[in-house]
Copies of this chain bind each other. A is one copy, B any other.
Amino acid sequence: MAGSTFATGRRTLARLLAPLLCLALAGCASTPLRGTGDLGVVIERASGSVQIVDNSHAQSLARVQGLGDLSHASVVFSRDARYAYVFGRDGAISKVDLLAARLVKRVEQASNSIGGAISSDGRVIAAQNYSPGGVKLFDADNLQLLSSVSTAAFGGGESKVVGLADMPGNRFAFALYDSGEIWLLDASTPSAPKVQRFEHIGKQPYDGLASSDGRYFIAGLYGEDGLALFDSWHADAGVRRILAGYGRGRQALPVYKMPHLRGWSIAGDYAFLPAIGQHEVLVADNRSWAQVATVPVLGQPVFVMAEPGGRRVWVNFAFPDNDKVQVIDVPTRQVIKTLQPGRAILHMEFTPRGDAVWLSSRDDNKLLVIDTATLTVRRTLPALEPSGIFFSSRASRMGM
């Protein structure tokens, strides 16, 4: 059942009565008017639900249920920041109305999927699929299928698609796990998208990320060391290898969890990224991509996320250290704080201008709102095995 509101803040008599009176009137909102710039969605992985939250007042607004298998899920937002598109592990896309707190539409579009993106004009949703592979494009308004892009190799099956990210000009970049390619898809005419292929970019790309200006696309490689860098301003130059020492190939260390590539950050002039299988955060120059330093941390890093101002970088960890979070001071590259906020800290999301960071503690069934100035817990909120946290300010960002 979608849309049960369980926390609404201040109530006046008028506000309690108004919804009852309004429900009968088509076109009349039963919810008071509110802005959508400070809303967010929290994935509740075990229950197939999301919580809608308000990051100005650090409160939960509602729970929306019926979203299916959210054991891996990601979220993008409509251009007006009213709707969240939730991509579930089961290949479904769920469109959630954040104002009315209800599931507007749900489309089962693949049997196994790990995410998607929204075009720069906000009109097209792209889903990247594992099984079957390929990319599908949908109308963002009604989730009607606009086209399917096959990733089948000559005579082979569809390649799994990973790392899909939006680029300027209604384009999407993504990597093909099985065939070792990066594709740039132009969805300006979404019923007839055009593909530019870059082959032999490396073995088994397993994830990808775009730079925040949408210029670069970087794919991580599972089958060999290093990363594949594509510069969309110089597409003719093809794809080149960077950070040759980065990967899992060289080291025999057990890897408890392959870090998401999206857990990278640019802070100041440097990229901070999780070393794979090692207790280190790597620091690379964001122009040359040469590694310039390592920062020792207490476990295997998963997400390495810079505050919006870039002054500090927050790190969470793989099991067995996933109850801790460390904070790195960027100028000195030193850990300045270790927090132990709860069991199984799976994700972190900063408020748009960085006054707070929200953490999800899956095994303690709670969200923590931490004040970034004092590094203290400002509030905890109950949640059902929360994982990803996504704020609506992402609506105006590229490379999501």
Contact = CB atoms under 8 A, between A and B. Distances in A.
A34 B35 CA distance: 8
A79 B29 contact: no
Interface residues on A, range: 35 or more
Interface string A93-104: 000001110000
A331 B28 contact: no
A372 B353 CA distance: 28
A193 interface: no
A19 B309 CA distance: 43
Contact of A354 (B38, B77, B120): B120
A392 interface: yes
Contact of A352 (B22, B308, B395): B395
Contacts of A355: 120-121, 169-170
Most buried by B among A27, A166, A330: A27
A9 interface: no
A42 interface: no
Interface in A46-103: 56, 77-83, 98-100
Contacts of A169: 309, 355, 373
Most buried by B among A78, A214, A234, A355: A355
Interface string A345-357: 0000000111100
A148 interface: no
A251 B129 CA distance: 60
A215 B7 CA distance: 37
A15 interface: yes
A379 interface: no
B37 A307 contact: no
A17 B26 CA distance: 9
Interface string A1-44: 00000000000101101110110011111111111111100000
B80 A36 contact: yes
A33 B35 contact: no
Contact of A82 (B34, B83, B170): B34
Most buried by B among A14, A15, A169, A170: A169
Contacts of A395: 37, 352, 393
Nearest to A121: B355
Contact of A309 (B14, B122, B331, B398): B398
Interface in A198-244: 213-215, 233-234
B373 A188 contact: yes
Contacts of A21: 25, 28
Contact of A25 (B14, B80, B396): B14
Nearest to A394: B396
A249 interface: no
Contacts of A19: 28
B14 A77 contact: no
A337 B393 CA distance: 32
A80 B54 CA distance: 9
Nearest to A170: B355
A259 to B, nearest CB: 23
A396 B268 contact: no
5 pairs of A and B residues whose beta carbons are closest in the complex: A37-B81, A35-B82, A35-B80, A352-B396, A168-B309
Interface of A: 12, 14-15, 17-19, 21-22, 25-39, 56, 77-83, 98-100, 120-122, 166-170, 188, 213-215, 233-234, 268-269, 287, 307-311, 330-331, 352-355, 373, 392-393, 395-398
19 contacts: A17-B25, A18-B26, A21-B28, A28-B32, A33-B33, A34-B82, A37-B79, A37-B80, A39-B80, A122-B353, A168-B354, A170-B355, A188-B373, A213-B268, A214-B308, A214-B353, A215-B309, A352-B397, A393-B395
